[in-house]
A = this chain, B = another copy of it.
Amino acid sequence: MRCEVVAIGTELLLGQIVDTNSSWIGEQLAAHGIDHLRQTKVGDNQDRIVAVLREALERADAVIVCGGLGPTQDDITREAIAVVMGVELVRHDHVADVIRELFASRGRAMPENNLRQADVPAGATPIEQRTGTAPGLICPVGPDGRQVVYAVPGVPYEMREMLERAVLPDLARRAGVAVAIVSRTLRTWGASESRVAELLDPRITALDGPGNPTIAFLASGIEGIKVRVTARAPTEQAAQELLDAEEAEVRAILGDLVFSGADETMEAAVGGLLTARGQTLAVAESLSGGLVASRIVAVPGASAWFRGGVVAYASDVKAAVLGVPPGPVVSEAAARAMADGVRRVLGADVGLSTTGVAGPTDQDGEPPGTVWLGLALGDAVDAVRIQLPGDRDRVRQLSVISAMDRLRRRLLD
């Protein structure tokens, strides 16, 4: 079973939108063990779409087409597929009813052109639309219908939902591959991507390249290094068991570098530890300028453990609000006083602080990337110095996850 992906839209060619859909679909196909050799982007032009589909069907058993299913005159994927199938479009009554009901339920008048979305090439099966107005399509192609063109909307969340619900299961069934595919993302911090690669290399080799389970990893900046384990099996339960066993292998290798086994952020992981201890946190930020706080409030339920923060950008704010003593502000003394000061001022159990040099020039005689992370927890008030790589933005971003990871490790002790 060979598959190709075709993304439709002049706006993709013009670079107005980056085509993330094809990448995501490629990732899913790989996880499902389906060969996938080419992706094409083409504009909203019927002749060119037809040509791309015909060429793809000369090489592949299945083609996933993304985009061009909306209500406007530019949306011509349905027409192009009908040409390739050699059939007419037929108005599908049930699909039309669903579209009418969607508008009615939102209390909005339906422009008549929305019913174009109910036009289906004769012989194709619509994929029910659950999150948008456009249905997807499963279109058998060729004299014996052994090939297939799937059409899904270009809106990412509509595409993903339809691919997972209808397209991938259908593809897996046709390919005769195991239907149950599960994956899990572990996140790590504290070692470089190349070090994580080195640590995992023997295990990946033991799994024999693109075997089952598979292990893939990706450095994602402030999100940590993501290690994704994917397993395939005839049943969901068998796949989960494979996954559990492989997660245990990976955790044995990576140890406390792993901060989440559920693709959570570092902030969420720290929030879980604080909640378990019934403690609250306050942050004092100089270098990171509010980034730690803004990441924390994005965690659902953070109000249970997060009191707030002080962004002490000007040096005299550090002194006046947080009680930082006179002297250089990129220093152990400043980081400690900030952490201790913010938990006192905001009435929190734990205080965390960042102060350092984002760059591009030196500050207090320290080079860019020099960061002090302060931590006030119980009777202990201390700070460590780290050196971070990259430009201003990267130094700031890395200081956030580094500060939170330090707290995580302390809470684990």
Contacts and interface: CB of A to CB of B under 8 A. Distances in A.
Interface of A: 12-20, 22-28, 30, 36-43, 45, 48, 52, 55, 216, 218, 283, 285, 288-294, 296-298, 302-303, 306-314, 316-317, 320-321, 345-347, 358, 392-393, 396
B289 A293 contact: yes
Contacts of A297: 289-290, 311, 313, 358, 396
A7 B38 CA distance: 10
Nearest to A283: B311
A346 B309 CA distance: 13
A392 B298 contact: yes
Contacts of A28: 15
Contacts of A309: 290, 310-311, 313
Contacts of A26: 12-15
B22 A41 contact: yes
Given A14-B27, A289-B294, A293-B311, 11 more contacts: A12-B26, A14-B26, A14-B30, A15-B30, A17-B23, A38-B40, A39-B41, A307-B313, A307-B317, A317-B347, A321-B345
A265 to B, nearest CB: 12
Contacts of A48: 37-38
A43 B37 contact: yes
Contacts of A283: 311
A99 B153 CA distance: 46
Contact of A25 (B15, B25, B345): B15
Nearest to A287: B297
A1 to B, nearest CB: 15
Contacts of A43: 37
Contacts of A55: 55
B294 A291 contact: yes
Contact of A15 (B24, B41, B45, B292): B24
B12 A16 contact: no
Contacts of A289: 290, 293-294, 296-298
A283 B320 CA distance: 16
Contacts of A290: 285, 289-294, 296-297, 309, 311
A37 B20 contact: no
Nearest to A296: B289
19 contacts: A13-B26, A13-B37, A15-B24, A16-B27, A18-B18, A19-B23, A37-B43, A38-B40, A289-B290, A289-B298, A290-B291, A293-B293, A294-B311, A297-B358, A306-B314, A308-B312, A309-B310, A309-B313, A311-B311
